[in-house]
Amino acid sequence: MKLMSSPTSPFVRKVHVLLHETGQYEAIDIYAKPTSPFDTAPEVATANPLGKIPALIREDGPTLYDSRVICRFLDDHAKAGLYPDGRIWETLTLEATADGIMEAAVLMLYEHKLRPAEAVLDSWVDAQWSKIERAVSALNARWMSHLRGPLDMGQIAVGCALGYLDFRHDARGWRKGNDALDDWYAVFSQRESMKLTAPADAV
């Protein structure tokens, strides 16, 4: 299998962390293909008509895309149990919350990176950050018992989301008022899978 990837995408990082946690990383060919809404790599567009990464190219079936689909497939492939039946809805909701944080954070980046300075709408950027603030506050208030439990895909997604906030929007300070989540992330970010997949530069 081949994974269309990017060194800075938080959605790709989710897949990479899963691959390391489940011992599948060496079995997947990783192709770094950075892409953006205005400059889609042809290989990415061929793999995923939406022009987004990650995309998992399989020899025995159609290409899979959307990080949640890919992670669910790879977890099943390894029989790793990162989507445990006993708390499946909580795990999926936690993953969706983390993905929403990532999406809002990426849109904030695109607003400044892809638009001319005079066209940037700061109020729209602030609205995206408000979504992130609400989600992070909810994680801190409602989800700590789950985050402190056995490893699952919800935890991996949250770890990658918080890592992306540090990488792209550190100055906004997601940790303020979220001490329990900050403490959890300080430990979770030291997992070998997280250290091996940390974004290296601001491409």
Q: Is the pLDDT of residue 201 over 80?
A: no
* CATH class assigned to 85-196: mainly alpha
1-5, 13-17, 110-114, 167-171: range with lowest mean pLDDT: 110-114
Q: How confident is the model at residue 202, as a pLDDT?
A: 40
Q: How confident is the model at residue 183, as a pLDDT?
A: 98
27-36, 78-87, 90-99, 167-176: range with lowest mean pLDDT: 27-36
- Of all residues in the chain, the percent with pLDDT exceeding 90 is 88
Q: Which residue has the higher pLDDT, 22 or 38?
A: 22
45-49, 101-105, 158-162: range with lowest mean pLDDT: 45-49
* Per-residue CA distances from 33 to 56, 106, 200 (Å): 12, 17, 15
Which of these, 95, 99, 98, lies nearest to 83 by C-alpha position?
95
- Over range 24-53, report the average pLDDT: 91
CATH of domain 2-78: 3.40.30.10
Q: How confident is the model at residue 22, as a pLDDT?
A: 98
pLDDT confidence of 203, banded at 50, 70, 90? very low
- Over range 130-154, report the average pLDDT: 98
Burial class of residue 37, CB neighbours in 10 A (0-12, 13-18, 19+) = exposed
Q: Is the pLDDT of residue 121 over 80?
A: yes
Contact 92, 155 (CB under 8 A): no
Q: Is the pLDDT of residue 200 over 80?
A: no
Convert 144-158 to b/e letters by CB count within 10 Å (16 or more is b): eebbeeeebbbbbbb
The residue extents of the domains of the chain are: 2-78, 85-196
Q: What is the pTM of this model?
A: 0.95
Token pair in block for residue 189:
């970010």
